[in-house]
Chains A and B, each alone.
Chain A
Amino acid sequence: MSASYDAIVIGAGHNGLVAAAYLARSGLRVVVLERRRVVGGAAATEELFPGFRFDTGAHRLGRLHPALVKDLELARHGLELAWANPSVLTPLPDGRYLSLWREPDAAADSIAAFSSADAEKWDAFTGLVAQVASVLKAVHGSLPPRVPDGPARDLATLIRLAGGLRRLGKKEMIEVLRVLPMSLEELLAEWFETDGLKGTLAAAGIVGMCHGPMSSGTAYMLFHHHVGCAAGALRPLQRARGGLGSLTRTLAAAAGAYGVEIRTGADVGRIVTSNASVLGVTLANGDEVRARLILSSAGPGTTFLRLLDPSRLDRDFVQDVSNVRYRGATAKVHLALGELPRFGGVPAGGEHLSGAISISPSLEYLERASDAAKYGTVSGEPYLEAVIPSISDPSMAPPGHHSMSVLVQYAPYHLREGTWDAARREALGDLVVQTLARYAPKLPASILHRHVLTPLDLEREFGLQEGSIYHGEMTLDRLYFMRPVAGWARYRTPVDGLYLCGAGAHPGGGVTGYPGYNAARRVLADSRGSRH
Chain B
Amino acid sequence: MPPYDAIVIGGGHNGLTNAAYLARAGRKVLVLERRHLTGGSTVTEEVYPGFKYSVCSYVVSLLRQEIIRDLELARHGLEILPLESTFTPLPNGDHLARWSDHDKTRSELYRHSPRDAEAYDDFGRLMYRMAVAVKPILSMIPPDPTSLSLKELKGLLRLGRHFRSLGRKDFASLYRLLTMSSADYLEEWFETEPLIATMSASGIIGTFLGPRSPGTAYVQLHHYMGEIDGVFRAWGFPRGGTGSVANAIAAAAVRLGAEIRTNAAVGQLMVRNGRAVGVALESGEEIRAPVVVSGLDPKRTFLGLVDREDLPDDFVLAIERYRMRGSSGKVNLALGELPDFKCLPGAGPHLRGAISISPSVDYLERAYDDAKYGQFSRRPFMDVIIPSVIDPGMAPAGSHVMSIFVQYAPYAINGGWNDARREAFGDAVVSTLAEYAPNLKEAILHRQVVTPADLEDTYGLTEGNIFHGELTLQQLFFLRPATPWANYRTPVPGLYQCGSGSHPGGGITGGPGLLAARRILADTKGGGR
The yes or no answer to B272 lying at the interface (CB within 8 A) is no
The yes or no answer to A216 lying at the interface (CB within 8 A) is yes
The yes or no answer to A475 lying at the interface (CB within 8 A) is yes
The yes or no answer to A367 lying at the interface (CB within 8 A) is yes
4 tightest Cβ-Cβ pairs between the two chains A and B: A486-B172, A181-B473, A216-B215, A148-B163
In the bound complex, residues from chain B placing their C-beta under 8 Å from that of A476 are 179, 214, 473
Interface string of B151-163 (1 = CB under 8 A from A): 0000000001001
Cβ B213 vs Cβ A215 within 8 A: yes
Cβ A148 vs Cβ B168 within 8 A: yes
Cβ B172 vs Cβ A487 within 8 A: yes
Interface majority SS (helix, strand, loop, mixed), chain B: helix
The yes or no answer to B323 lying at the interface (CB within 8 A) is yes
Residue in contact with A147 in the complex, picked from B171, B213, B321, B369, CB distance below 8 Å: B171
Cβ B323 vs Cβ A186 within 8 A: yes
The yes or no answer to B166 lying at the interface (CB within 8 A) is yes
Residue of B166, B181, B314, B474 with highest tally of chain A CB at under 10 A:
B474
Contact A181/B212 with A148-B160, A148-B163, A371-B369 known, Cβ cut-off 8 Å: no
Residue in contact with A216 in the complex, picked from B147, B188, B214, B369, CB distance below 8 Å: B214
Cβ A179 vs Cβ B314 within 8 A: no
Contact A215/B214 with A364-B373, A367-B372, A487-B168 known, Cβ cut-off 8 Å: yes
Select from chain B the residue with minimum beta-carbon distance to A416. Answer: B362
Cβ B166 vs Cβ A148 within 8 A: yes
Cβ A482 vs Cβ B176 within 8 A: yes
The yes or no answer to B175 lying at the interface (CB within 8 A) is yes
B429 shortest CB reach to chain A, Å: 23
Residue of B179, B209, B479 with highest tally of chain A CB at under 10 A:
B179
In the bound complex, residues from chain B placing their C-beta under 8 Å from that of A487 are 168-169, 172
Cβ A374 vs Cβ B169 within 8 A: no
B189 shortest CB reach to chain A, Å: 10
B188 shortest CB reach to chain A, Å: 5
Contact A375/B372 with A147-B171, A174-B479, A477-B176 known, Cβ cut-off 8 Å: no
Cβ A178 vs Cβ B479 within 8 A: yes
- Separation of A419 and B370 alpha carbons in the complex (Å): 28
Cβ B168 vs Cβ A146 within 8 A: yes
In the bound complex, residues from chain B placing their C-beta under 8 Å from that of A170 are 146-147, 484
Interface residues of A in 147-188 (CB under 8 A from B): 147-149, 166, 170-171, 173-174, 177-183, 186
In the bound complex, residues from chain A placing their C-beta under 8 Å from that of B175 are 477, 482, 486
Cβ A181 vs Cβ B180 within 8 A: no
Beyond A216-B215, A477-B180, A477-B214, list 10 extra A-B contacts (CB 8 Å).
A146-B168, A149-B168, A166-B148, A173-B146, A190-B321, A211-B212, A214-B213, A217-B214, A368-B373, A486-B175
Number of interface residues of B (CB under 8 A): 39
- Separation of A190 and B321 alpha carbons in the complex (Å): 7
Contact A178/B474 with A371-B369, A476-B214, A477-B180 known, Cβ cut-off 8 Å: yes
In the bound complex, residues from chain B placing their C-beta under 8 Å from that of A486 are 168-169, 171-172, 175
The yes or no answer to A527 lying at the interface (CB within 8 A) is no
The yes or no answer to A325 lying at the interface (CB within 8 A) is yes
B224 shortest CB reach to chain A, Å: 18
The yes or no answer to A323 lying at the interface (CB within 8 A) is yes
A364 shortest CB reach to chain B, Å: 7
Cβ A148 vs Cβ B171 within 8 A: yes
Select from chain B the residue with minimum beta-carbon distance to A178. Answer: B474
In the bound complex, residues from chain A placing their C-beta under 8 Å from that of B180 are 475, 477
B313 shortest CB reach to chain A, Å: 11
Cβ B214 vs Cβ A179 within 8 A: no
Select from chain A the residue with minimum beta-carbon distance to B475. Answer: A178
- Separation of A29 and B145 alpha carbons in the complex (Å): 48
In the bound complex, residues from chain B placing their C-beta under 8 Å from that of A215 are 181, 209, 212-214
- Separation of A166 and B153 alpha carbons in the complex (Å): 13
A492 shortest CB reach to chain B, Å: 15
Interface residues of B in 79-95 (CB under 8 A from A): none
- Separation of A316 and B166 alpha carbons in the complex (Å): 17
The yes or no answer to B167 lying at the interface (CB within 8 A) is yes
Select from chain A the residue with minimum beta-carbon distance to B184. Answer: A325
The yes or no answer to B472 lying at the interface (CB within 8 A) is yes
The yes or no answer to B308 lying at the interface (CB within 8 A) is no
In the bound complex, residues from chain A placing their C-beta under 8 Å from that of B188 are 323
Interface string of A360-372 (1 = CB under 8 A from B): 0000100110010
Select from chain A the residue with minimum beta-carbon distance to B472. Answer: A216
Interface residues of B in 450-476 (CB under 8 A from A): 472-474
In the bound complex, residues from chain B placing their C-beta under 8 Å from that of A149 are 164, 167-168, 171
Select from chain B the residue with minimum beta-carbon distance to A150. Answer: B168
In the bound complex, residues from chain A placing their C-beta under 8 Å from that of B472 are 181-182, 186, 216
Residue of A146, A179, A183, A211 with highest tally of chain B CB at under 10 A:
A183
In the assembled complex, 28 residue pairs joining A and B whose CB atoms fall closer than 8 Å, in A order, are: A147-B163, A147-B168, A147-B171, A148-B163, A148-B166, A148-B167, A170-B146, A174-B483, A177-B474, A178-B474, A179-B474, A181-B179, A182-B472, A182-B474, A190-B321, A216-B473, A364-B372, A364-B373, A368-B373, A371-B369, A374-B362, A475-B214, A476-B179, A477-B214, A482-B172, A486-B175, A487-B169, A487-B172
- Separation of A249 and B484 alpha carbons in the complex (Å): 51
In the bound complex, residues from chain B placing their C-beta under 8 Å from that of A371 are 369
B471 shortest CB reach to chain A, Å: 11
The yes or no answer to B5 lying at the interface (CB within 8 A) is no
Contact A216/B213 with A147-B163, A477-B179 known, Cβ cut-off 8 Å: yes
- Separation of A501 and B447 alpha carbons in the complex (Å): 62
A120 shortest CB reach to chain B, Å: 16
- Separation of A215 and B207 alpha carbons in the complex (Å): 12
The yes or no answer to B365 lying at the interface (CB within 8 A) is yes
- Separation of A179 and B176 alpha carbons in the complex (Å): 19
In the bound complex, residues from chain A placing their C-beta under 8 Å from that of B147 are 170
In the bound complex, residues from chain A placing their C-beta under 8 Å from that of B146 are 166, 170, 173-174
Select from chain B the residue with minimum beta-carbon distance to A185. Answer: B372
In the bound complex, residues from chain A placing their C-beta under 8 Å from that of B171 are 147-149, 486
- Separation of A28 and B98 alpha carbons in the complex (Å): 60
Interface residues of B in 352-378 (CB under 8 A from A): 362, 365, 369, 372-373
In the bound complex, residues from chain B placing their C-beta under 8 Å from that of A177 are 145, 474, 479
In the bound complex, residues from chain B placing their C-beta under 8 Å from that of A316 are 169
In the bound complex, residues from chain B placing their C-beta under 8 Å from that of A147 are 163, 168, 171
Contact A217/B166 with A178-B474, A476-B179, A482-B175 known, Cβ cut-off 8 Å: no
Interface string of A185-204 (1 = CB under 8 A from B): 01000100000000000000
Cβ B362 vs Cβ A375 within 8 A: yes
- Separation of A476 and B213 alpha carbons in the complex (Å): 12
A476 shortest CB reach to chain B, Å: 4
In the bound complex, residues from chain B placing their C-beta under 8 Å from that of A171 are 314
Interface string of A133-148 (1 = CB under 8 A from B): 0000000000000111
In the bound complex, residues from chain A placing their C-beta under 8 Å from that of B164 are 148-149
In the bound complex, residues from chain A placing their C-beta under 8 Å from that of B163 are 147-148
Interface string of A465-497 (1 = CB under 8 A from B): 000000000011100001000110000000000
In the bound complex, residues from chain A placing their C-beta under 8 Å from that of B369 are 371
Residue in contact with B212 in the complex, picked from A183, A374, A482, CB distance below 8 Å: A374
In the bound complex, residues from chain A placing their C-beta under 8 Å from that of B215 are 181, 216-217
In the bound complex, residues from chain B placing their C-beta under 8 Å from that of A214 are 213, 372
B162 shortest CB reach to chain A, Å: 9
Interface residues of B in 319-348 (CB under 8 A from A): 321, 323
